[in-house]
Structure 1
Amino acid sequence: MDQQTQLLPALVCMLGLAGIVVWHLQGRARPTARLVVQIAFFAAMTVVLAYSRMNPFRFDPTYLNDTQTLFVAAKTLWWVHLSWAVIGFVRLYLVLDGRPREARLIQDLVVAVVYLGVLLSILAFVFGVPIGGLLATSGIIAIILGLALQSTLSDVFSGIALTLGRPYVLGDWICLSDGTEGRVVSSNWRSTHLLTAAHNLVVLPNSVLAKVGLTNVSQPDENHQIVVSVRVAPTRMPRIIVEVMNTVLDSCNAIVRQPPPTVGVVGIDASAITVELQFRVTSPAQRGPARNEVIDLVYRHCRANGLQLAMPPESPLALDATRPDPRHFGAPAQDLIGAVPIFSNLSQEERDALALSATLRNFPAGAEIVAEGRALASLMIIKNGVVAMKSGENEIARLAPGDFFGEDGLLAGMKEKHGLHAATRLAVYELGQAAIAPLLFKRPEIAEDLAAHLAQREAIGARPELPANQRERRRLDLLHAIRSIFRSQRESAKS
């Protein structure tokens, strides 16, 4: 064999190795440039092979007798570059609009077929291996491997079925029939990874996931329904109880308003009327906070409206349902003032004195309590009903029995940041500055609690939420303003 014929395979090998180096230098972020490099080097290698009259599609035993290494390496590199060029086209142009998981699956299957075809071609056209006998032998081997890798293959084919069926996509929150639930964070051929609410990563084999019942909470959206059952002593008509529970849902800030929440009477007996509160939250992660708020509001509204929660049916203790507990009828000013966090540490004498100075006021549903930008001259504690906080026409939040408002103008000389309206019939206890000023002089910690409450109230509806350091700075500014106002008033009174 002449020297030129020997140099041509070496040139093909050099082009093949240079193409590999340049291909890697392009990086994964430039798939189009990689494809151009693959095509360019593959075309150059094809031209050299054609010029040397080496047919890559035909096995020539004479090449194995002389310069075996160069010819084998040249034809092998040519087949490898052919496979990479085809795979580059597949990865770049085989795309299904709006279905990235299906596109990725089809790409992987085509790539696997390309690699298998190139491997068989190299064995047949480069090394002269009889493919027919190899395929017959490989069938037996495939059966043995299939039995040995049965569970793994089951996961792989289950992964294909899940990908094509699309019961979920990355980011969806799913619940399984065995109680496992979480957000899908990754999915591959063998398994699916869920991030649970406890921030744990659960790895589920695809074969297991394909067999169990699956509920996709994120489809068609992430609104999630919750049902809270409440048992109320039958001291009032069911219609009254339903009205109170509707007020509970009206005053809740953590639930979705559309579709509207509902209340239904599901049972009645001599000891209790059972109602179910059905409402939705924006995501599964909000179930806990929303349920906590609803239960808290059930207690507050029942106490404010004279409803008595029933004892559990299995409890050995039972209250006489025909004799309502008088402590549950209405919310006396003393009890309501004691339930307000800023007044919870007052002595009984101080609560009684504050309650004597309180004035009961009533507002019809829809009444404007104070307009946005105006100041209230008294502190108002909600006895019964719901107050809506509005910024313009947008509702920001709602206040329930036990909440208070008006501290902005009373204590810090500020105007209301939000307008306040009676969402339902409303009853409030009104406390003037003359009743609260002596408590601030005697108990400075009340001013600190009020400043923290004011800072938190100002942050309602703020987008984006203020950082913690800014909220703390605002709290200190409000505390200084409250103390300054009451210090000047005290000095004026002495003079």
Structure 2
Amino acid sequence: MNPTDRGMLFGFGVFLLDFLAWRFLTLDREWARFGIRSSLFLILSYVLWTIQISPFHVAPWADQPIRHLLAQGLGFLWWLQAAQISATILGRIALPSELRRERLFQDIFRAIVFLAAAVAAVSYVLELPLGGLLATSGAMAIILGLAVQSTLSDVFSGLVLNATQPFHVGDTVAIGDIQGDVVERTWRATTLLNNRGNFVLVPNSAAAKASIVNLSRPPQLHGITVRVRISPTIRPALVISGLEDAISGTADVLADPKPSITALVIHRNFIEYEILAYVASADKQNGTQNEIIDQAHLQLNARGIYLGREQPEGGSREGVERLLRNIDMFKCLNDAQIAQLASASVSQRFSAGELIYNVKPDCPDEHRALCIVAEGVAILLAPHDGKDIELQRLAPGDAVGRSGVLTGVSNGIKLRALSNVSVFRLNKDAITPLLRQFPELAKEMLSDLLECQAREAEILREIPSQETERGGVFQRLMEGLRRLHGIVRR
């Protein structure tokens, strides 16, 4: 085998290595792969130069068909590698950084480079007339265009979408009835990851015709709409007041833009109200919407407005009893015991900004009381690093002061009215008879107290690390309860 034939076989071996590097070499850095392929391209160029084969001229062995064919093949492979290297370099230089992240533009740019390389290879290696080649390719393009008309529609629609930039990879969008995160954009389709964890391919032609809502723009503003229908026998001002408190009781709702409540429709069977609020990120929308609905249910019930039925009759005492029955720590009591608590409660009203609860650790036991929010929204505050931080927003049925009224130990917390708030107080003397008659109530109230303290500790990053510690705390609290209320161990 003469040196020319060995050189051509070596050239094909270099191309085989290049193919294997493209197919199987997995390096984290793109430039490392590019460096390896560029080195193999330079080696192939050197091999062609040493055996006197030029990719810019026809092969010199026209009288030797096999050698001539192999030389033409090497010429074509050289142009293929040149197109690959050029597409990478020119893509970095010509395409802006935001377009380099879009696969559609990368594919189109690479297709243009490879098409130019193919035309050059046919022209130089085969020495075919370029005019005839272009005419033939034009006719073929028309035929192919008719055959792949829908595909071309996707391609051009993709170009329009990339030019107008209604969304980027990573955005959360709704395209027609389909919602999800954009994970990829190609020449044919946009791939979304929906909330079920499935990939949904939306053809670019369909996306261009559909309404597109970008849920990630602006990045710090996402709207939530909740609609509720209430009986027309209930005064709208009362309903709107309850819905306003429901928004105030939802911590993730932004204050700016200001939430709004609108009475949309008045009908003989209902009045429809719309709540429009905003959150800072798209991933908070569902949770915040659920919380708004829950708060609306609490605030409307606190005003005697029950969805699905008329406003019940009854005075304020009946309203206190209804509220007590819905509090977890009092669910073990019967109707007579609930009525006993309700009769011992004292109702108070506070304006927005007023301090509702601020019992010091050294205050007399007779001043300690359990404050239960009956209407409105209050903020529970705790000192931390020299300032008060918000622990929780209290809605109707939420209580504060459990530790002081049960064990005689008051924590350093405050309760301040966020809106107009109505509370009723149960002092130590109102609870002591029930604790003595019904010891199970003490366990329920202490368990509720521990859960509240755990939530507060989690916010303050002081969560107990062992379950045994909870048991020890429970026993200490139980001993304090027995001492404060004079309960004899049974």
Normalization by structure 2: what TM-score?
0.80
Which position in structure 2 is the counterpart of 1:338?
A: 325
* Residue of structure 2 in register with 1:355 after alignment: 342
Equivalent-residue separation in structure 2 for 1:447 and 1:107 (angstroms): 65
Cα offsets for 1:117-138 (capped at 9, x unmatched): 3334444444555655454444
Tell me which residue corresponds to 1:316: none
Distance (whole Å) between structure 2 residues aligned to residue 26 and residue 211 of structure 1: 41
- Alpha-carbon shift at residue 363 of structure 1 (Å): 3.5
Equivalent residue number for residue 34 of structure 1: 33
Displacement of 1:166? 1.3
Aligned letter for 2:191? H
Q: Tell me, yes or no, if structure 1 residue 277 matches structure 2 residue 278.
A: no
1:427 to 422, 427, 440: 422
Report if the CA contact (8 A) 2:224-2:289 is conserved.
Answer: no
- Aligned match for 2:452, one of 454, 457, 482: 454
* Matched-pair contact (CA < 8 Å) for 1:173–1:183: yes
| Counterpart secondary structure, 1:62 | coil
Counterpart amino acid of 1:88?
T
Matching residue of 1:368: 355
Contact 2:354 2:417 in 1 (8 A): yes
Distance 1:439 1:120 in 2: 98
Equivalent position amino acid for 1:29 in 2: D
Residue 116 of structure 1 corresponds to 115
1:384 and 2:375 aligned: yes
Letter in 2 for 1:377: R
Aligned length: 477
Q: Check the 8 A contact 2:192/2:200 in 1, yes or no.
A: yes
Cα distance change on mapping 1:460 and 1:429 into 2, 3 Å:
farther
Amino acid paired to 1:486: L
AA paired with 2:96?
Answer: L
Residue 404 of structure 1: CA displacement?
1.0
- 1:416 is matched with which residue: 411, 414, 419? 411
Residue identity in the other structure for 2:186: N
State the 1:338 CA deviation.
0.9
Note closer, same or farther for the CA distance 1:203–1:347 as it changes in structure 2 (3 Å cut).
Answer: same
For 1:187 and 1:438, the matched residues in 2 are separated by 70
**Greater shift in the superposed pair: 251-260 or 475-484:** 475-484
Report if aligned partners of 2:107, 2:187 keep a CA contact under 8 Å in 1: no
1:74-128: CA deviation from partner (whole Å, max 9, x where unpaired): 32342233223213313544552345445x4433222112222333444444455
For residues 10-63 of structure 1, the C-alpha deviation after alignment (integer angstroms, 9 at most, x for no partner) is 554455555666777864423333334444443444345445443321213525
SS in 1 for 2:82: helix
8 A contact 1:412–1:478 mirrored in 2: no
- One-letter amino acid of the structure 2 residue matched with residue 31 of structure 1: E
Q: Per-residue deviation at 1:478?
A: 4.5
Shift of 1:211: 0.9
The residue type paired with residue 344 of structure 2 is S
- The residue type paired with residue 298 of structure 1 is A
Question: Structure 1 residue 412: deviation in Å?
Answer: 5.7
2:402 aligns to what? 407
Counterparts of 1:18-417 in structure 2 under 5 Å?
27-60=26-59, 62-63=61-62, 65=64, 67-68=67-68, 70-102=70-102, 104-127=103-126, 132-177=131-176, 179-221=177-219, 222-231=221-230, 233-234=232-233, 236=235, 238-239=236-237, 241-266=239-264, 275-305=273-303, 325-327=312-314, 332-371=319-358, 377-391=368-382, 392-411=387-406, 415-416=410-411
Please state how far the C-alpha of 1:172 moved relative to its aligned partner: 2.2
User: 2-side partners of 1:228 and 1:161: how far apart?
Assistant: 37
Partners of 2:115 and 2:260 in 1: how far apart? 60
Residue type at the aligned position of 2:451? H
Q: Is the 8 A contact 2:446 2:477 kept in 1?
A: no
Three-state SS of the structure 2 residue aligned to 1:256 is: coil
* Kept in 1: contact 2:379–2:394 (CA 8 A): yes
Q: Would you say the 8 A contact 1:447–1:482 is kept in 2? A: no
Counterparts in 2 of 1:408 and 1:387: CA distance versus 1, 3 Å: same
Q: Could you list the per-position Cα deviations for residues 158-183 of structure 1 after superposition, in whole angstroms to 9, with x for gaps in the alignment?
A: 22322222111223222244x33233
Letter matched to residue 225 of structure 1: I
Please state whether the residue corresponding to 1:263 is helix, strand or coil: strand
Query: What stretches of structure 2 of length at least 5 have no aligned partner?
Result: none
Per-residue deviation at 1:348? 0.7
Q: Tell me which amino acid in the other structure corresponds to 1:407.
A: R
Q: How far apart in 2 are the matches of 1:453 and 1:293?
A: 20
8 Å Cα contact 1:448-1:479 kept in structure 2: yes
1:483 to 460, 474, 478: 478
Secondary structure of the structure 2 residue equivalent to 1:326: coil
Change (3 A) 1:10 1:414: farther
Distance in 1 between residues matched to 2:408 and 2:216, nearest whole Å? 47
Identity %: 27
- Quote the Cα distance in structure 2 between the aligned partners of 1:462 and 1:83: 60
CA positional deviation for 1:240: 5.1
1:315 maps to: none
2:348 corresponds to which letter in structure 1? Answer: R
Q: Is the 8 A contact 1:303 1:329 kept in 2?
A: no
Q: 1:17 to 1:198 in 2, by over 3 A?
A: closer
Q: Distance in 1 between matches of 2:295 and 2:478?
A: 33
Deviation at residue 408 of structure 1 after TM alignment: 3.3
Structure 1 residues 382 and 163, CA gap change in structure 2 (3 angstroms): same
Q: Secondary structure at the match of 1:145?
A: helix
